[in-house]
Structure 1
């Protein structure tokens, strides 16, 4: 399914009044994981600005021990500080990387903003080296704009 085909499905999940926020977030993760071949782990992390930590929210994929990540640590922690998208074409070449699994070859993290504040991020791991393009970034920015409506 193309990103263009997925966009209205994302919007429909967010607009569904019969489900609570975490169910919607999980449904978004499932939709992306099932319909984008190289999205092998899809999840949300949410910021605790007081403690300067990220906390794992709904996700789909292999279990992870990384349920709390300090700001600045790994790709997700760096995005919490930079407020910018971070694409890692090959995790083996990245210094400040927290390995989740030896099967993960690349990662993309896109921050989630609500009223201008970075409240979290969508994190996607792939078992493929360098699959992410600018189209992925724009699509995931759209996803986060929709998700922001839940906060």
Structure 2
């Protein structure tokens, strides 16, 4: 029924994007859709040790100012970092830059946050809808150089299908 890692090491991203749309049809709840999406990605791609969401949340800063942090959302894998400030690590940098970051070797990424010491490569995709950033989708692998430009393009298409199906009105965007 669904594409699995055992079926191929090169995912059929077109099929996976169709599956995202199919799984999420008729449901718009953020947490439900994020949980389903994380499970689909985690069990459909090979060599992953984490796949999940960090969502924007208001955060008090020094001087009484407010900005945003990323707060752990639905995921598959081991326990993870709970809160990540914008600009820190791969996730926080993706949020600040609002663009996908593909990291072949996380140990060479300045300021990398090691939530799981087994992670060696990572790809993080921003969640942008109507010009607002709502968080990031993060995928880690224990394998160096795990993610390619083809993975990036395919995962961005899957995230776009997730974004289209999901209602973000209950969280604050940045």
TM-score between the two structures when normalised by the length of structure 2: 0.80
Matched ranges for 1:19-34 at <5 A: 20-34=29-43
2:73 matches 1:57? yes
- 1:123 corresponding residue in structure 2: 138
In the alignment, is the contact (CA less than 8 A) between 2:17 and 2:161 conserved in 1?
Answer: no
In the alignment, is the contact (CA less than 8 A) between 2:90 and 2:113 conserved in 1?
Answer: yes
Aligned pair count? 149
Kindly state the Cα deviation for residue 85 of structure 1 after the two structures are TM-superposed: 0.8
Residue of 34, 48, 52 corresponding to 1:43 = 52
Residue of 65, 80, 87 corresponding to 1:72 = 87
Kindly state the Cα deviation for residue 20 of structure 1 after the two structures are TM-superposed: 3.6
2:98 matches 1:88? no
RMSD value over aligned CA atoms? Answer: 1.5
Q: Which has the larger radius of gyration?
A: 2
Structure 1 ranges of 4+ moved more than 6 A: none
TM-score between the two structures when normalised by the length of structure 1: 0.91
- Cα deviations across residues 50-108 of structure 1 (Å, max 9, x unaligned)? 432011110000111x1111111111111111011111101121221000112101010
SS at match of 2:115: coil
Q: Distance in 2 between matches of 1:47 and 1:21?
A: 13
